[in-house]
Every structure is written in C-alpha cells, then in structure tokens.
Chains A and B, each alone.
Chain A
Amino acid sequence: MFGRDEKPSQIRLTAVQYIILVIFLVLAYGLWRLQVSQSDYYQAAAEQNRIRNVPILAPRGRIVDRNGRIIVDNYRSVTAMLLRDSSRDLMVDADAIASGLHMDPKEVKEKIRRFAYTPQYQPIYLKEDITPDEEAFIEAHRTELPELDTIMAYRRLYPLKGFMAHVIGYVGEVSEGMLNQPRFELYNPGDIVGQSGVELEYNDLLMGKNGSRQVLVDSHGREVGKPLEEKPAEAGKQLKLTIDIDLQIAAEEALGDKNGAIVAMDPHTGEILAMVSRPTFDPNDFAVHITNKDWNKLVNDPDKPLLNKAIQAQLAPGSTFKIIMSVAGWQENIAQTMTVHCNGGQEFYGRRFGCWVKSGHGEVDLTKAIYQSCDVFFYNLANKLGIERVAKYATMFGLGQKTGVDLPQEVSGVVPSEEWKLRNFRQKWFAGETISVGIGQGALAVTPVQLTRAIAAISMDGRMVTPHVADPTGLPSNYLEVNHYDQVNSIPVDPNGYTIITDAMSRVLLPEGTAPSAHIPGIDIAGKTGSAQVVSLATRAKHANDEDLAQNGWFVGFTPRRNPDVVVGILFQGGEHGRLAARVATQVIKAYVDKQRRQPTGLANEKPASNGKAEIGAIWTSPDKDGDGEKLEMGHLAVALPKKPLPLALAAPGMR
C-alpha cells in the first residue's frame, strides 16, 4: 500500500481513453486527406521531384571546304561543377578539389563563398574545358567527393590564328534582341547560335535539334539508374563551302599582317575560292566564353578586326575603275578612236588635274592608257561620257549595290550620280566631280567583292555571276529562295572591245606596264592596279609620316587572259601603290595555277599500274622505209606516270 487508498476517478480514466480516441481519429483523418483525397496531387509532386528532363545538346554541323576537308569541327568540352549537398562542408573539401582540378584553393573557396546565397539546387560551375586527367580525377573520387560532378557540351573548334575567321564567323548565346526577330523566334534563351559569317548565315542548317532524356534523380540532383525515356538529339547538318583550303592558305599567307582583304573567285560560277580579311580575330575565343576585356579590345580596335573587309570595306577603287571606264567608253563608241596627249596633267573647269606620271605619257590610246594607267586619258573619257553614263555602266557591273554574297551584313558601296548627289546632299552635281570619278576617286566607293565581281564579268565577256561561299547543291530550299547562287546577269559587251581591253590588261605585268615586278613567268595574268587616296593630296602632304593616311593599293587580276579560271581581287590598305597589291595577288594566282598543274590527270587515274607506267593508245607518223616520206601509224605506247603530286592540305590549320 502506497499513499492514499482512494483511487483516481474512473470517469477521468475513461475520459483519457476518449481523448486518445479523438487524437487517433484526427490522425486518421490526416492520413485520409493526404493518401486518399489528395493522393493524385502528391503522386505528381513525387514524380516532379524524382523525374528531370535533361537536354541532350545537339552538336552543330561541321563546315568543310569544296573537297570535303574539315574547316570547323566540334569538340567534347567537359565542365566541372559542385552540387551543393547540404550534408557536406564544401570548404573542407575545397583543397582536395582544387588540387585535383589544378586550381588555386583560394579561387575554389572564393567561388563557394560567392555562390553561398544563390539557391542550393543551382550548381557552382568551377572550371570549363577540363582536361581528361581532371575528368578522371572526378570519376575516381565519386565516393569521397560526391558533390563534384561534370556536365558535357559540344563546343566549336575553329582553325588556328584566325584562319578564315571572317568567312566562318563565330557562335554565341542567342541574345534577347535576336530572339525578338522573326528569324530566330523558334530558338530558346541559352541556345548557341551563329553570330557572324556562315555560322550566322547558315545557322538553321548547322544548328541541330536538342534532344532530351528523362532521368531519375535523387534529392541531390544526381542521376540514378538508367534513363526512363530518351529522345536523341539531331545533329546539325554539314555545310560545304566553295572555299579551297589550299588557296585560302596561300591567300592568308600572301596577305600576312597587312591590313586589307583578298577575294578569289571562279568567274564562271561565282564560287568564292578564298576570302581573307585583315586584321583577323580568333573565333575560338568566342567558343567557350569571351571575356569583357577581350571583347572590348576587339570592338575598340581602330583596325576593326571583326569587320569582314572583303564585303564590308567601302573605299575608292582608284585606277582599277579605269577598266569599267574603258568598257563604258568602248560601248559608247568613244574609246575606239580616242587618243590624248598626256603632258602630266590637264585643266578641266578651271582646275588642273594631274597625271600620276608628272612628266606625262605622251601620245596615249586606250591600250596604252590601260597598261600605263594614264589619268589624263580617263579624265577626258569621263568628261566626254558625263557622270550619268559613267554611273550607268558602274551600276550595270554591280557597283553601288550588294552582290548578294551569302554572308551577313554586306554593304552596297556608292556610285555617285546627279540624282545621288541631289538626294543625299541636296546639291547640284558639278561637272568637275566627274573628272575625279573617271579615275576611281571622288565619292565612288566599292567593296573588294564588288570590284572582283565587276572585273570578273568583264573578263567573262559580260557574264556577271553571283558570288557565294556555300556550295548550293543539297542546301534546303529556303536558302535557294533567298540566295540566288546561280543567277547570272548577261551584260552586252562588244567582243572586239573585250579583246582589246583584256589584252591591254595582260600588259600591266609586262615591263611596259604599271606592275612588272608582280610578273610570274609561265603564267598568263591580266589585271589592273589601283591606288586610291584616303584624303586629299594637300592633307597628305601635311602628315607625310601618318600611316593611316597612306594610299590604299588595289589589284584585280585573272588567269588566263581568255575564259579565265580564277579572278583575284585585293585591297591592301596603306599599300601606297597598286604594284605592291599586285605582288600579293599574283602569289595567290600562282598558288592556284600550281595546284591545277599538280592535279593528277584523268589519264593517270584510269589505269593505275604498279611499274609506274601506263599504256595509252596513240597515233603517230614515222619515216618511210626509203626515207622520203612519212607514214601514219597507230598502236600502244607505254608512258611514265606523273610523279605523285605534292601533298595538299588535309584540313584547315588546327583541325585534326
């Protein structure tokens, strides 16, 4: 017996039992509510927890040259990241992580600290483009450092040192401004799209379609088991360019560090075989993530490395314009019989216009005016034609308008006329201005690709093509509708004038011409030099040592003289004289001809023989037995096969 005898009230004990019953009923109601009434909602929530859609990034299409050699490829880029599992102290692991990833421990800790207040489910990206041994470190330490993980993406691999950078362009994350354009409306924020060059122009073709994968993830966002569902990515399609890597290499080397641009084109088809612009930039800088510093440097550089000068530089063509003047003069029946006496200059409308040869050229006809580049002859021709007829022929040969080349942001240049001056300056045209236009100065402005196409059209007897860098065969119809790759404009040119003008152009590189030093023995090159003032001669005299004010050199040439295979146009900024430009251009032409001559002939390919000889059928004459006549014979001959051609480039520089 302990304490009082009297027991506690039985009613109260029963009351406790009822209270317990009520508590259990409430709990049972709670279970019912969650597991029966709202079960669907929570099952969906559980699914949302554990199932995640992971995008599978589609690699962009490769870019190859006209022979299928690789210019732009992709590479597998792995980024190391930290998943923030709340149960691990990242700071403690920071040293181990830093040593495995070859990073500064301070940098790792700094990143962890900086991202401490961002939502926990967002990983911290530690290092981009990690090496295979760093990737192996992460794989090997899955259990010790579970927070360390990787993410894979395809990145663009561009040729080295800005090779062909302006034609290729670069890629970057789609900007908000781009997403508002109808062209990009189907893209999503974060998509990597082309930003310039063919990467932009052919983005729809090159860009693949991302796939997705449904995976099971745990509470740390780590994938568990096999994917539940997989929609594979569609890789981007390959883009075949008309560029010839061998010629592109030759053009890049020929221009070297000089400012300017080169365009090499097949005048029959408009296929651009090489296109170079200087200074250049390295598109690989954009492939990972361009820093603000690098970007500002590119944008603020006075030489504008991001500009593709082949299609975006508008400058006075100088004496190269005299070829168009010659055609105009011939077609208008003025140049045929015209001769002038050049004594170093002539006065027009009260002002003296000098010839570049101050002592004068003496008696000059059209042919001599072309190969000697006599200014006085063309002053007179321009004066006789008048600005309207000059403008008509310049426009006919595609100046003052876009060529329609399949590259973004081409500019149109300027062909001045009475109407043009009235519209832009609300002023009347002065006849004196026509004189300057006659030698490619004044308000006239052309791009290298325009000038190359115009001279190509003249070399082809008036057949003017549309320049393009992509091979149109196999392109989707939306490109064929926008870019008129095969469009040809036939300009009626008198064949006699054409013969005389191209013959005169072929003498430019002979001793009597303006660029004899650019002559290449054994190659028939016709062309025209030009040098154009950047500022007036008076201003130039004041700043004699300022390189920015030096004259621009031009040259457009083709080979052979009749029915040419290739036309090369070059702008050499600050080159002072067209003959220096001509030397660069003829190097490119030489590379083209050399390659043609090294190509294995059909004969050798037909019957490969192991002894280095091939049998051919032949007809020949041999002396009669008596020795006083010849007899026709036929039979088989064994000829030695040509030696193996020198190795050509296998791919663009820096490509595997």
Chain B
Amino acid sequence: MARYVSFKDFDWALVGFVLIICTLGVFEIHSATVHTKFAGAHIKQVYWILGGLAGMLIMSLLNYHMLLEKVHWMYIGAVASLMTVLIFGQKYLGARRWVKLPGGIHFQPSEWVKLILILAVAKYFAEQHHKDLTWSDFVKAGAIVGVPMLMVLAQPDLGTALTYIPIAVMGLFLGGLHWKQAAVVLLLAGLAMPLAWHHLKPYQKDRLVSFMEPDADAKGSGYQVKQSLIAVGSGGLFGSSEESQTRLSFLPVPQTDFIFAAFSEGHGFVGAMGVLLLYFIVLMRLTQNAQTAPDRAGTFLVMGVVAVLTFHILVNVGMVLGFMPVTGIPLPLMSYGGSSVLFMFLALGMVMNVRMRRFVN
C-alpha cells in the first residue's frame, strides 16, 4: 500500500504551542534553580527538548501500522524491562525505578511502557469485533494495562502506575462502554478501596492524610501541600515580586513536581491561566487530530495520548492547588526531567504519524 506522506501535513501549530509551553518550563526551571545545587538544569532540559524533537521526527516517519503490527513484541519487551528493574534496579529513596545503563544513564522503563500501552490498547480496540463493549473486552483490555501496572506498583511507584489507568479508561469509553457497565466497575472499585488502603505504604498513607488535612502536620508530611498552596496563593493576580516560596526554598522540588506552583507564584493568576489555556489548546488540537484520523486505530492511538496528557495535568495541577494528594507525577512538557520530556515528544511523534497519513484512501 503506497502512501503519500508529506511534512506539509505535519501539525506545525501543535508543535508551536508545545514549544511555547516547553520554553516557559525552561525559564521557570532556570529561575527556580539558579541559586541551588541544581543550577544549570535548564540547559540540560533544552538538550532533552532538542532530543525529544528529533525523536518526534523519527517517530512520525515510522508507519504506525507497522508499530501496531509489532506491538505484541514491544509489550513482551516492556514486561521484561519492568521485571529487570524489579530485580536489578537501583534503589533510591526506598523504591526501585531506575536501571543504570552503561554510560551512567539512568533509565526509567515505566515511562516507555506508557507509550507501548497506548499502542497495545489502540490495537486491541481497533480489532474489536462487536459494536458494543463486552465483559470479555473489559477483562482483556484490563489485563493489558493491569499486568504492567501491578509491576510498577511493586517498585513501588503509585504515581506512574496510576497514569496507566486513563489509557484503559479512554479505550473502554471510546470502545463503547455502556453506562451500566461503568456503574458496576465503579461499584467494584469502591468496594476494593479499603483493601487497597491496607496495602498502601506508610508514606503513601501519610500523603493521603495530609492531603485531606494539610494543617495536621504542617512541618512533616503536610508541609509540601501547605507550602505549595502558599506559593500559588501569594502569587496573587499578577505574580509576586518576592517569589520567596520558590527562592527561599520553602517550595519543595520547584523544578519538577511543583513547577506549576513556582510558575504561579512568579506570574500570578494571569500567567497560570495562560499556561492552562496553552495546555487546553494542545489537548483540543490533539482531539481534533483524533477525529480526522484515517482509521479506527489512529483515533484510539491519538486519544490514548490525550488521556495520558489530561491525566498528568489534572493530577499535577490538582496536587499543586490542593485538590489531589501528592503523588510525584510531573507536569508534562514543563517539569524538569529527561524521561518525561522524551515520552511526551515520542507520543506527539505518534500523533504526527497518524495525522500525516489522514488523506490516504
């Protein structure tokens, strides 16, 4: 099947908005780390973004159908790499999340697994045979996402494991989820809650408790939530000139998980709303690409990316604003970190891949 592929069909507008967000992130990383031991992190972030752009180009050139055909091999590779981490991973702050590769690179496979899950779920629902979602679809799609999720939970990394859920939810929803089925699943999930609580680590429980009651232990576990709220709130309408929460290091990790709080303190309600608007535009542009996808698989693939991105924004910004517990999920495109940046650009590369093939047939 010969296809006509041209960079004229590349979504330049989407790339433009994404790069604006990345640039804001780089500046914020610079100002948040300039007097700390992390000074210079913004330069590394620029390299990661450039690397991400290159990855996006390569990703957009590979035919996504070829990727979907090979996805079961990738899936096996993903499970194997997670197994490797569990056995040989570097222990850091009580969790095994990284493997050290030759050359001193810390590789965190759980990020790449997200990409493979998007592909796997897209493939599953593209080949779905019934118009309506059956319980068997439920179990199979659940298993595709559930196996790696349990392995990530075992690291333990609750935050990343949770980001796998929206991939499955989006697939099920677009695959024709019936509201009765949704009700049953929610009920079962509700019943499973107390059991899940029992299996949480003490620090995870602390985080949940301090999320509900930030003042309960203001110098301990509720500290991060409280300092984040103060940072955002003291930003006011146009931003605080002192930026003391960020500069005097009251705000924890302002270059990664709490970058949105640091940005909100410095640029106020107006600036923070601007960033939210940029993310909203990006998401709307992505869903538009899903609508114009050449086939069912393409739509599922793009919407998988939308699901992951939306979930990250909701959980990260929600955490900064005190709506969500502290989970350690970064804000995509803005937070400092190679794995996160590369994942986002490769995911965008897949979206481009779908878009550039939309006029075929």
Contacts and interface: CB of A to CB of B under 8 A. Distances in A.
A611 interface: no
A64 B357 CA distance: 97
Contacts of B227: 49, 219
A26 B313 CA distance: 12
Contacts of A216: 244, 248
A30 interface: yes
A2 B235 contact: no
Given A38-B233, A46-B242, 16 more contacts: A3-B126, A3-B295, A4-B126, A8-B174, A16-B287, A23-B310, A27-B313, A30-B317, A31-B269, A35-B233, A35-B269, A39-B234, A39-B235, A45-B230, A50-B250, A218-B250
B129 to A, nearest CB: 8
Contacts of B126: 2-4
Nearest to B175: A8
Contacts of B240: 43, 46
A1 B269 CA distance: 47
A551 B236 CA distance: 85
Given A2-B65, A35-B235, A43-B233, A49 B250 contact: yes
Contacts of B295: 1-3, 5, 7
A497 B103 CA distance: 112
B173 interface: yes
A9 interface: yes
A77 to B, nearest CB: 29
Which secondary structure dominates chain A's binding surface?
A: helix
Contacts of B250: 46, 49-50, 218-219
Contact of A4 (B127, B234, B272, B310): B127
A5 B249 CA distance: 55
Interface stretch (B76-84, B318-326, B343-351): B318-326
B140 interface: no
A121 B219 contact: yes
B291 A41 contact: no
B231 interface: yes
Given A50-B242, A120-B219, A34 B249 contact: no
Contacts of A31: 232, 264, 269, 272-273, 276, 321
B272 to A, nearest CB: 5
Nearest to A119: B219
B296 A43 contact: no
A34 B321 CA distance: 8
A10 B291 contact: yes
Interface string B101-133: 000000000000000000000010111110100
A453 to B, nearest CB: 61
> Which residue, of A10, A28, A38, has the highest number of chain B Cβ atoms within 10 A?
A28
B234 A46 contact: yes
Nearest to A17: B287
Nearest to B236: A39
B229 A42 contact: yes
Interface stretch (B194-202, B299-307, B333-341): B299-307
A618 interface: no
Interface in A94-119: 119
B131 to A, nearest CB: 8
Nearest to B123: A3
Contacts of B1: 1
Interface string A9-32: 110110011001101101110111
B208 interface: no
Contact of B291 (A13, A23, A219, A220): A13
Contact of A49 (B244, B287, B361): B244
A307 to B, nearest CB: 48
Interface in A202-238: 216-220, 224
A372 B236 CA distance: 96
Nearest to B235: A35
Nearest to B299: A8
Contacts of B123: 3
A50 B250 CA distance: 9
Nearest to A33: B321
Q: How large is the interface on A (under 10, 10 to 19, 20 to 34, 35 or more residues)?
A: 35 or more
B127 A3 contact: yes
Contact of A12 (B173, B297, B323): B173
A513 B237 CA distance: 99
B291 to A, nearest CB: 6
Which 8 interchain pairs have the tightest Cβ spacing?
A: A42-B233, A3-B126, A30-B321, A46-B234, A35-B269, A218-B248, A50-B244, A34-B233
B154 interface: no
A544 interface: no
A35 B323 contact: no
B306 A16 contact: yes
Contact of B230 (A9, A49, A119): A49
B229 A34 contact: yes
A314 B122 CA distance: 103
A6 interface: yes
B234 A24 contact: no
A3 B231 CA distance: 49
Interface in A114-155: 119-121
Contacts of B356: none
A224 B250 CA distance: 13
A646 interface: no
27 contacts: A2-B295, A3-B123, A3-B295, A7-B299, A8-B300, A8-B303, A13-B290, A20-B284, A23-B310, A24-B276, A31-B232, A31-B273, A31-B321, A34-B233, A35-B236, A35-B237, A39-B235, A43-B240, A45-B234, A46-B244, A46-B245, A49-B227, A50-B248, A218-B249, A218-B250, A219-B227, A224-B248
B47 interface: no
Given A3-B297, A27-B276, A31-B276, A219 B236 contact: no
A50 B249 CA distance: 10
Contacts of A24: 276, 279-280
Nearest to B268: A35
B174 A9 contact: yes
Contacts of B232: 31, 34-35, 42
Given A12-B173, A39-B234, A219-B248, A28 B273 contact: yes
B259 interface: no
A9 B233 contact: no
Contacts of B323: 26-27, 30
A27 B318 contact: yes
Contacts of A1: 1, 295, 361
B224 to A, nearest CB: 11
A45 B306 CA distance: 37
A36 interface: yes
Nearest to B64: A2
Contact of B237 (A5, A16, A20, A39): A39
